[in-house]
């Protein structure tokens, strides 16, 4: 069978699932906000009703089993707010994984805190708790666990480490709406957890974010940072700490409440497709599935990550492999690049410290260069046949290396 990249017939020409998904509910709630005349989000009521922002904060926090939530403009700012609310100051070190979206590291650099990289686990692509312990110095103030692709990191070990060394534990759960570790929603297993509602995330308002926490004092600190340094019961022009205007709009909160009603059905669709993909790809020699810790009682399945087997990766160039699979009509992506080698991170670190920092994360670097692959988030909302097409295309391309 000749490969599509060489002029053969592609395995799939049909598009994958449409994203975003919306209907009359979104239209109605958006109209409600429009007609209320209260588009911004500081207190007050409209038509005697509570605005959407506090309702959303309450419902989302409850959904993730957290006591409190403070919404904000996006998931990047949410991480900055969480770090600052936890007391992280310029010059302090924050331990982060190298395999994640860049915001995990730049949210610290935004105010002069220094990201320090702890390598990932080979079989999960998640931050390795042993490497976290090795990265702790007297300057370390916080650890950011990232639930990459919707798979919770090892929260049990990370919490032990954080408590033992008196560090704040923050969860970057931007990709993990709905995920659970040992039956508990991610986001407030650590001290604070952050989420993104940017348009590619599983819960989408175009842009948006939230910080979750269980402690009232952390809620109040995060609230102040997002509300120009006001305090919850203080005056309008009473500014007690340094904050910014990081507020979301009621337009976004309205969309999010409507989108939340679709979440369970979408999660079940993702789960069914992932179970099928795991079965199909698990049978293909040349592909290696990620391992899933049994304590992950719910995976958010934001994107699908998998690896080329080490044996196959030795004979295939990753970029060329991707081009061949893409030509078959399958949106496989390169995935993240190691943040410990990313210029934006290194140059900002040097600017703040006045000297270069070098981090080696050999596991992440090797997996990014030759093995780790990603399927985009809308793929997992597609029809069952799409999973068969993905498996068929991958197998077709892998086989072509034997010919």
Ligand X SMILES: *Cc1c(COP(=O)(O)O)cnc(C)c1O
Measured from the CB of residue 152, what is the shortest distance to ligand X in angstroms? 13
Beta bridge partners of residue 305, listed in sequence order: 374
For residue 24, give both structure tokens. Answer: 């009359």
Per-residue binder mask for ligand X (CB under 6 A), 351-380, x = binder? ------------------------------
Interface with ligand X in residues 120-159 (CB under 6 A) = 146
Q: What CA–CA distance (Å, rounded) separates 38 from 47?
A: 10
Q: Does 209 bind ligand X (CB under 6 A)?
A: yes
Give me the residue whose beta carbon is nearest to ligand X. Answer: 75
- The neighbour count for residue 174, using CB atoms within 10 Å, is 30
Q: What CA–CA distance (Å, rounded) separates 73 from 13?
A: 37
Q: Calculate the dihedral angle through the C-alpha atoms of 39, 41, 42, 46, rounding to the nearest 10 degrees.
A: 50
Q: Does 76 bind ligand X (CB under 6 A)?
A: yes
Measured from the CB of residue 191, what is the shortest distance to ligand X in angstroms? 17
Measured from the CB of residue 73, what is the shortest distance to ligand X in angstroms? 8
- In the list 16, 52, 60, 101, the residue contacting ligand X (rule: CB under 6 A) is 101
Q: Which stretch binds ligand X (CB under 6 A): 30-38, 100-108, 135-143, 153-161?
A: 100-108
Nearer of residues 46 and 333 to ligand X, judged by Cβ = 333
Cα of 166 vs its chain's centroid, Å: 25
Nearer of residues 41 and 75 to ligand X, judged by Cβ = 75
Q: Does 104 bind ligand X (CB under 6 A)?
A: yes
Q: Does 175 bind ligand X (CB under 6 A)?
A: yes
In the block, tokens 């997002």 appear at 226
- In the list 64, 196, 204, 340, the residue contacting ligand X (rule: CB under 6 A) is 196
Nearer of residues 198 and 395 to ligand X, judged by Cβ = 198
Residues near 289 by Cβ (< 8 Å), separated by ≥ 6? Answer: 278, 281, 282, 306, 307
Residues near 351 by Cβ (< 8 Å), separated by ≥ 6? Answer: none
Q: What CA–CA distance (Å, rounded) separates 365 from 371?
A: 10
Q: Under the rule (CB under 6 A), what is the footprint of ligand X? A: 74-76, 100-101, 103-104, 146, 172, 174-175, 196, 198, 209
């Amino acid at each position: 069978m000749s490969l599509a990249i060489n002029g053969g017939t592609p395995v799939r020409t049909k598009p994958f699932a449409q994203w975003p998904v919306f209907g009359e509910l979104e239209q109605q709630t958006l109209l409600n906000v429009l007609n209320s005349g209260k588009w911004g989000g500081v207190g007050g009521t409209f038509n005697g009703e509570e605005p959407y922002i506090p309702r959303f904060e309450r419902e989302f926090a409850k959904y993730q089993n957290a006591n409190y939530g403070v919404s904000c403009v996006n998931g990047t700012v949410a991480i900055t707010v969480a770090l600052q609310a936890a007391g992280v100051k310029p010059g302090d070190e924050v331990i982060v994984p190298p395999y994640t979206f860049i915001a995990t590291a730049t949210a610290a650099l935004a105010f002069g805190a220094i990201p320090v990289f702890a390598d990932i686990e080979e079989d999960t692509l998640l931050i390795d708790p042993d490497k976290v312990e090795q990265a702790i110095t007297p300057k370390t103030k916080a650890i950011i666990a990232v639930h990459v692709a919707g798979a919770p990191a090892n929260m049990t070990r990370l919490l032990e480490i954080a408590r033992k060394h008196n560090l704040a534990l923050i969860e970057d759960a931007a990709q993990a709406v709905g995920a659970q570790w040992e039956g508990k929603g991610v986001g407030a297993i650590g001290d604070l957890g952050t989420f993104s509602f940017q348009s590619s995330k599983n819960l989408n308002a175009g842009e948006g974010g939230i910080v979750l926490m269980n402690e009232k004092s952390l809620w109040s600190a995060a609230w102040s940072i997002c509300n120009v340094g006001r305090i919850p019961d203080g005056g309008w022009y009473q500014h007690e700490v340094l904050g910014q205007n990081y507020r979301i709009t009621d337009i976004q909160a309205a969309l999010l409440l409507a989108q939340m009603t679709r979440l369970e059905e979408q999660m079940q669709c993702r789960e069914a497709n992932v179970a099928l993909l795991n079965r199909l790809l698990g049978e293909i020699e040349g592909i290696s599935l990620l391992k899933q810790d049994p304590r992950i009682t719910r995976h958010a399945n934001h994107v699908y990550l998998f690896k080329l087997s080490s044996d196959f990766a030795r004979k295939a160039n990753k970029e060329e492999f991707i081009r061949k699979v893409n030509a078959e009509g399958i949106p496989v992506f390169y995935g993240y690049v190691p943040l410990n080698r990313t210029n934006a991170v290194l140059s900002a670190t040097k600017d703040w410290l006045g000297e270069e920092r070098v981090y080696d994360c050999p596991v992440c670097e090797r997996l990014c260069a030759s093995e780790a692959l990603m399927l985009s988030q809308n793929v997992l909302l597609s029809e069952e046949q799409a999973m068969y097409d993905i498996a068929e295309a991958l197998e077709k391309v892998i086989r072509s290396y034997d010919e």
